[in-house]
Structure 1
Amino acid sequence: MLLSKGFEVEMYTGTPQGDIVGFSDQIVAELDSFVREPDNRNVEYTTPPLSCYDRLLCDLIRPRQQLRAYLKTLGDYTLIPGSTLSLGGSDRFYRSDPANPYHGYIEQTYGTTVVTASIHINIGISDPETLMRACRLVRVEAPLFLALSAASPFLDSKVTGQHSTRWSVFPKTPVHVPLFESHRHYIQWTEAQIEAGTMQNVRHLWSSVRPNGDRRPYNLNRLELRICDLMTDPIALLAVTALLEARILQCIEDPSLDPLSISLFPSNSRSQDLVAIADANEMSAAKSSLDAPLRHWRDGHILSARDWIEQLYQEVLPTAKKNGFGCFLLPLRKILRDGNEAQRWLSLYQQGLSPRQIFVQAIQDLEEQERELASKLCHPLVA
């Protein structure tokens, strides 16, 4: 059984020298599948829900090729990797839609802490109670996905000390989000947050993972993992997605994987204790990614994110193989061996390259990789 999968991909636009320049208002007006973000410097495209990994690969690449072609009509512009305003610009918000009151609220409340780029991975789950159980499991393991995807060690041309500066500064909203014990719990909690004003609308739930659907919180059909930094390498992104799907399939088949069923914590405080572990692990993963010390939700022991991911890889591999997508997990081994994007960039920085030099090369590498994948797998891409 393969679950449906889709992506929301936020990316910056700018110059080949790494300076971010915003065009989202123009892009959205000219290209289908793209939507604007509150700040004009990044733009989002979405892929339709599909089960097949091969087709997902093309759907990740095709919109970028279309966007690159359009950017060339505006001048010498390109796509910028990374998940923060890495080389500068965090002192000012550039509204993409000045007439939108919700965008105004975001600018005034959060400033440029929300001007980030990321990947949201959506996995289809039709039964709402199964969805809630999957959300609980993914919530306590979300730091592992952040550790694999971290790609924001710079801000304003400075090393921040965080591998995911994006997640370390992003305003998680509301401040406290529980493990939803049931669909009814999620509905009641959401209604209470909107009434209290801690959420402006049903979309204003900015946590590592959330239930999603066409009429939240009532009609739900997918899990949305929101914690990942922008993974520009589509092969690596599909590997992370395969890990997530295999884990969710395990959760569907084995209800004992529900964190609320474990006995490590007293039943009257279990949800709060698990949330505290997950939140602390998120901050540790944001700081040190694969090298981060994390506390396991099952028994409380401390291990590195890298070791935990390796264990999880071995645990889910039979499930992935049984369902025909085991090969898509393999690139995880390369990330564990060579490091994520943030770690590779920091290694270059320690060798003496400046953040700008690192990004100039990363921009060129990204364009070359997309061109190669497009020519091999997804031709023709642009009509």
Structure 2
Amino acid sequence: MLLSKGFEVEMYTGTPSGEIVGLSDRIVADLNGFVREPDSRNVEYTTPPLCQYEKLLCELVRPRHELRKYLRGLGDYTLIPGSTLALGPTDRFFRSDLSNPYHSYIEQTYGTTVVTASIHINIGISDPETLMRACRLVRVEAPLYLALTASSPFLNGEATGSHSSRWQVFPKTPNHVPLFESHAHHIHWMEKQLAAGTMQNVRHLWSAVRPNGDRRPYNLNRLELRICDLISDPIGLLAVTALLEARLMQLIQNPDLDPLVMSHFPAESRNRDLVQLSDANEMAAAKHSLEAELRHWEDGRSLIAKEWIQQLYDEVWPIAKANGISCFLSPIKKILREGNEAQRWLRQYEAGQSVPSILRGAIQSVQTQEDQLAQDLCEPCAA
């Protein structure tokens, strides 16, 4: 049985030349389904939780298609792919809501390091202990999903040397987040952080993955993977989601698939060792994505990210096939073969193209693909 899935999609708005322009106040006022981020250059929409990938594809594409039409009505504006302020400026915050005290805190504490675009993938898991186990497994494998989705090699008009400049600069908060050993552990830890002020509210847990729900940390119903860069290709996003879902199905079938159970690290330091390993793997994946050298959470052995992903793919393929989603999983092989968005852009950069010209081409390519998908899929789905 398929799990429910939904996305939180953050995007930049701007011009076809790649200049990012803050328009979220107008978008939120005029279009249903969009919400503002603290900086007006970002806008976000959320898809409803659905089990079927075909319907999910429509819910991904339709809001972007409507937003593009609206932006054209405002002027020569469009959506900008990528997860960082590729052409800048990064020295100034453009507030979307001057009266919001939480936005004031964000601006004063973090500045433009939080002005990034990303995809948050939510997977429904209602049992709290299964959810905590899922968060533990996905936390130690989150670098693989970053490696697949890296799309931010540029910042301020230059190549940064990282495939995900977003995850290099994004302020993970609080500084240390353990693997939650139980729902009770999660509740106690959250209450302690809120009392200490290391978290401003229950949303202020910015880690690679977190449990989510309607009344956090008490009522939880989904896993939220937050590490992924913005994936411009909806088909690629569904493939990454299918990999995650099949892995979680495997975990539900086999509760012992748990880093706190299966890891060979010493029991007395296992939680801490796994957190340190995962943090180091995240930084390696942010730097080199699919070519990053990572350490496996089971025994600390070294392997290249794309090799680990291929192993994971082979392991969950039978589960995906049995549940009728193998066709949505299979584009993972294309990403492994051709590279993620950051790698494809960097190949153009190394061949002599400028950052603005790469962005212009990417903007046009993404728009063409989404227009075609909207024409082919969304109207039949709506009917």
Query: What TM-score results when the alignment is normalised by the length of structure 2?
Result: 0.99
Which residue in the other structure is 2:279 paired with? 279
How far has the Cα of 1:31 moved from its partner? 1.0
Question: In the TM superposition, what is the alpha-carbon distance from 1:263 to its structure 2 partner?
Answer: 4.7
| Contact 2:263–2:297 under 8 Å retained in 1 | no
Aligned to 2:355: 355
Given the alignment of the two structures, is residue 147 of structure 1 paired with residue 147 of structure 2, yes or no? yes
1:205/1:88 Cα in 2 relative to 1: closer, same or farther (>3 Å)?
same
Return the offset for 1:381: 9.3
Aligned to 1:242: 242
- 2:13 is matched with which residue? 13
Q: Which secondary structure does the structure 2 equivalent of 1:3 belong to?
A: coil
Distance 1:230 1:381 in 2: 24
- Aligned sequence identity (%): 72
1:213 CA displacement: 0.1
Tell me the residue number matched to 2:221. Answer: 221
The amino acid across from 1:327 in the alignment is: C
* Structure 2 contact 265–299 (Cα < 8 Å) conserved: no
1:117 matches 2:140 = no
SS at match of 1:257: coil
Question: How far apart are the structure 2 equivalents of 1:12 and 1:381?
Answer: 27
**Alpha-carbon deviation of 1:379?**
2.1
Which amino acid is the alignment partner of residue 256 of structure 1? D
**Aligned partners of 2:232, 2:35: CA distance in 1, in Å?**
18
C-alpha displacement at 1:33, in angstroms?
A: 1.1
3-state SS, counterpart of residue 109 of structure 1:
helix
Q: Distance in 2 between matches of 1:174 and 1:167?
A: 15
**Structure 1 residues 338-381: Cα deviation after superposition (integer angstroms, max 9, x where no partner):** 00000000000001000000000000001000011111111279
Q: Secondary structure at the match of 1:122?
A: strand
Conserved? CA contact 1:62–1:381, under 8 Å: no
Matches within 5 A, 1:253-272: 253-272=253-272
The one-letter amino acid of 1:202's match is V
Q: Is this contact kept in 2: 1:117–1:230, CA < 8 A?
A: yes
**Cα offset for 1:93?**
0.2
**Distance in 2, Cα, partners of 1:99 & 1:378:** 37
List aligned pairs for 1:1-383, cutoff 5 A. Answer: 1-379=1-379
Q: Which amino acid aligns with 1:121?
A: I
Find the aligned partners of 2:33 and 2:177 in 1 and give their Cα distance: 31
Moved more, 370-379 or 79-88: 370-379
| In structure 1, distance between residues paired with 2:348 and 2:190 | 44
- Code of the aligned partner of 1:20: I
How much has 1:299 moved relative to structure 2? Answer: 1.4
Q: 1:68-87: CA deviations, max 9, x gaps?
A: 11111210100000000001
Question: Which segments of structure 1 move beyond 3 Å, counting only runs of 4 or more?
Answer: none
Does the residue aligned with 2:256 lie in a helix, a strand or coil?
A: helix
Q: Distance in 1 between matches of 2:263 and 2:82?
A: 40
The secondary structure found in structure 2 opposite 1:276 is: helix
* Alpha-carbon distance, 1:262 to partner: 2.2
Task: Indicate conservation of the 8 Å contact 1:65/1:381, yes or no.
Answer: no
Q: Is contact 1:153–1:159 with CA below 8 Å preserved after alignment?
A: yes
Q: How many equivalent residue pairs? A: 383
CA contact (8 A) 1:68 1:78 kept: yes
Letter in 2 for 1:205: L
Q: Which whole-Å CA distance do the structure 1 matches of 2:118 and 2:349 have between them?
A: 22
Deviation of residue 88 (structure 1)?
1.4
| Cα displacement string for residues 99-147 of structure 1 (whole angstroms, at most 9, x for unaligned residues) | 0000000000000000000000000000000000000000000000000
CA contact (8 A) 2:55 2:381 kept: no
In structure 2, give the amino acid aligned to 1:340: N
Alignment partner of 2:368: what SS?
Answer: helix
CA–CA distance in 2 between the matches of 1:223 and 1:25? 29
Give SS of 1:294's match.
strand
* Unaligned ranges ≥5, structure 2: none
Output the CA distance in 2 between the equivalents of 1:170 and 1:121: 18
| Aligned partner letter, 1:296 | H
CA positional deviation for 1:268: 1.2
- The amino acid of 2:205's aligned partner reads L
Shift of 1:30: 1.0
Distance of 1:242 and 1:164 partners within structure 2: 22
Deviation at residue 333 of structure 1 after TM alignment:
0.5
In structure 2, the CA distance between the partners of 1:353 and 1:266, relative to structure 1 (3 Å rule), is same
Structure 1 counterpart SS, 2:236: helix
| Structure 1 unmatched runs, 5+ | none
Q: d(CA) in 2 for partners of 1:263 and 1:277?
A: 12
Label 1:323 to 1:303 Cα distance change in 2 as closer, same or farther (>3 A): same
Distance (whole Å) between structure 2 residues aligned to residue 329 and residue 29 of structure 1: 37
Instruction: Look up the SS of the partner of 2:148 in the other structure.
Output: helix
Cα distance in structure 1, aligned partners of 2:380 and 2:251: 38
Whether the aligned pair in 2 keeps the contact of 1:11 and 1:44 (CA below 8 Å) is yes
Distance 1:98 1:257 in 2: 46
Q: Secondary structure at the match of 2:87?
A: coil
